[in-house]
Amino acid sequence: MKINSYAKVNLNLKVFPKDNSGYHKIESLITKVENLYDTLIIEKNSLAQDVIECNIEQLTKSNFIFDVLNILRKNNIITEFFTIRLEKKIPIGSGLGGGTSNAIALAKYLIGDCKISQTIWNEIALKVGYDSYYFISGFDVAIVKGYGEIVEKTESNIKIFKEDLIFTNINCETKAVYEQFDKVGYNQEINYLTKAAVTLYPELEQYTKEGIMSGSGSTFIKKKIS
């Protein structure tokens, strides 16, 4: 089976101080990138282990896909093992949610019409990231709040294409950017993580004049679009 897994962008991102849970609440307008996606080819195997083949070598060993497969097996939703051929076009560490999108697209395909509890989705989100809830929703454009678990559909005609984006080829580590945010705060209202990302990755500074950063970086949305 062949499925596509789409990128997302944050058109804005408000981040609140870390609370007692150790996480930050956020508020963000998120939309799908219409023509930027990874492709997953899914086949059962008889190896008694999951295998990922990918054009980016590091993703064959460390990948949210493994976490999703393990959670689904643990909860008796699947019993088989799989070989996943993953063709990456969404840059890693780009703030476009590629790894999360891959994992949730696979989960939704394997679950199919089976009804699963919110508890299992929460378990997946805890492993894969709170962007999960946006991808689970299936909405193209949504306002996301809380820790990411509140997803409200918005009737918007916003369409973003990869031609609207600036790819910097810088791999931003989400956890590190949030930790830096706790230290330096923010200095602009559209994406609160911009100052933290630029502090950690100074080469991003040049792009702040051309666009608005998506998520924790490193992709920017051209200002004439955003």
Alpha helix segments (H runs only) across 25-93: 64-74
Q: How far is CA 68 from CA 71, 123, 153, 173, in A?
A: 5, 9, 25, 21
Q: Which residues contact 135 (CB under 8 A, 6 or more apart)?
A: 8, 97, 100, 101, 104, 105
Q: How many CB atoms lie within 10 A of CB 79?
A: 7
Dmax of the chain from CA atoms? 53
Residues forming beta bridges with residue 51, ordered by sequence position: 83
Q: What is the DSSP letter of 181?
A: H
Alpha helix segments (H runs only) across the chain: 64-74, 98-111, 118-128, 132-137, 174-184, 194-200
Q: What is the rounded CA–CA span in Å between residue 178 and residue 193?
A: 7
- Is there a catalytic annotation at residue 164? no
Q: Are the C-beta atoms of 90 and 162 separated by less than 8 Å?
A: no
Active-site residue (options: 14, 32, 50, 131): 131
- Is there a catalytic annotation at residue 131? yes
Phi, psi of 126 (to 5 degrees): -65, -35
> Which are the catalytic amino acids?
8, 131
